[in-house]
Amino acid sequence: MPPSAGISIGYLAERTGLAVSAIRYYEAQGLVEPWRNAGGQRRFHRADIRRMSFIMIAQQFGFSLPEIRGFLKDLPGGRTPTKEDWARISEGFRTHLDQRIETLVKLRDNLDGCIGCGCLSLPNCKLYNPEDRAAQKGQGPRYLMGDRPETAAAAENGH
Amino acid sequence: MPPSAGISIGYLAERTGLAVSAIRYYEAQGLVEPWRNAGGQRRFHRADIRRMSFIMIAQQFGFSLPEIRGFLKDLPGGRTPTKEDWARISEGFRTHLDQRIETLVKLRDNLDGCIGCGCLSLPNCKLYNPEDRAAQKGQGPRYLMGDRPETAAAAENGH
DNA sequence: TCTTGAGCTCAAGTTAGGTTTAGAAATTAC
DNA sequence: GTAATTTCTAAACCTAACTTGAGCTCAAGA
């Protein structure tokens, strides 16, 4: 394996612990861009080992592949990324990551005030329709712990 | 809607913000056990509003439905759960939750020592094959940031 | 050279967590 | 008492993130 020839998908898989099929899938998702050798086989930069690792780490934090693609898009495609390149995208990543952790901690603390205390009546439940939408999966507002904004609660005779 | 007759699936959906289809799905997953009225329609306990809310909150923390079923299995099926019942399962939940947050924070701090510093050479990378498997999605060990245990790294001529 | 492992493409399958649809029956509203 | 909602079941469909399989080609070692 001459140094200038790039590394094979199998070697990349071995070095990262990823399945070969997963790497091909990541390519399809635009997370990595190998070139092809004369025989049509994929060749990767050595730096892609680190790129794959970054993807795996970000996934552990719960980021989706499109989000991760967003983090990585600032990495140079043409040349090997430098320390500074990585430091720059890590910083962006770190910001999102702090947000995610903060959301979870906030949610936990609210939980302490709601379920944790055992009161459960919760006219002042902070978990109800939480402001931080980042933690929510999907679409519209979700009313938690059985409470709804003002009027709606009146529909029910005092519980 | 006489108080003793239980609530309909539509009302439960309205009170929680969940889709009717989602509630039926949760029933299929064993997360709630409605009974049927004379006409074969599902009737839920009023307390199931809170049960659904608990499911939604736990999902925000990234727990799977089987995990949540585990949290809920200690809630009494026959009678309305008391404060104490909820406090008890919340405590168990809180434990898992603390673990999850701790894992994320640890991962973040390791990231600071790895990518964040820009060194990236990482002979001492703590993210590599992290001990805390709880944060990992699946199967075998994953070797992160391109490092592998001892011998494997020798396969590569010094990078 | 021959063989065997590694890689290729494309399509289909898998799991989680649901949603949508269709046609029929029950319930509620007027 | 009728009309409009709701609810029912079962099956099909959906997205994300992959894996598996079929059929074929490429590359590396004895």
A109-131 pLDDT, tens digit each: 776 666 555 444 433 444 444 33
- Give the nucleotide nearest to B66 (CA→C1'): C16
What is the predicted pLDDT for the residue at A115?
59
Strands (DSSP E) found in chain B: 35-36, 42-43
- Give the nucleotide nearest to B41 (CA→C1'): D7
CA A102, CA A104: separation in Å to the nearest integer?
5
Question: How far from chain centre, in Å, is Cα A42?
Answer: 26
CA A144, CA A111: separation in Å to the nearest integer?
11
Bridge partners of A36? Answer: A42
Residues of chain B with Cβ-Cβ distance to A84 below 8 Å are 118
- Give the nucleotide nearest to A55 (CA→C1'): D17
CA dist A62 → A94, B7, B104, B114 (Å): 13, 36, 10, 19
Residues of chain A with Cβ-Cβ distance to B87 below 8 Å are 115-118
Closest chain A residue by Cα to residue B155: A15
Which two tokens mark B70? 């585990």
CA A153, CA A143: separation in Å to the nearest integer?
11
What does the pLDDT look like over A124-153, one tens digit per residue?
Answer: 444 444 333 233 333 333 444 443 333 333
What does the pLDDT look like over B44-96, one tens digit per residue?
Answer: 999 899 899 889 888 877 789 999 999 888 777 666 777 778 777 778 878 88
CA B105, CA B109: separation in Å to the nearest integer?
6
pTM listed for this prediction = 0.72
Name which residue leads in pLDDT, B141 or B45. B45
What is the predicted pLDDT for the residue at A78?
58
- Lowest-pLDDT choice from A31-40, A43-52, B72-81: B72-81
Inter-chain CB proximity B17 and A59 less than 8 Å: no
* pLDDT at B8 > cutoff 60: yes
User: Nearest-CA neighbor of B32 among B69, B59, B4?
Assistant: B69
Inter-chain CB proximity B143 and A107 less than 8 Å: no
Strands (DSSP E) found in chain A: 35-36, 42-43
Inter-chain CB proximity A120 and B56 less than 8 Å: no
pLDDT band at B104 (very low <50, low <70, confident <90, very high): confident
What is the predicted pLDDT for the residue at B115?
58
CA B104, CA B102: separation in Å to the nearest integer?
5
User: Nearest-CA neighbor of B101 among B140, B122, B132?
Assistant: B132
What is the predicted pLDDT for the residue at B85?
80
Distance from CA of A21 to the nearest CA of B (A): 15
B69 close to B29: Cβ distance less than 8 angstroms? yes
Which two tokens mark B98? 């603390």
What is the predicted pLDDT for the residue at A105?
83
Residues of chain A with Cβ-Cβ distance to B135 below 8 Å are 60
CA B25, CA B67: separation in Å to the nearest integer?
15
Which two tokens mark A100? 């995610």
Question: How far from chain centre, in Å, is Cα A134?
Answer: 12
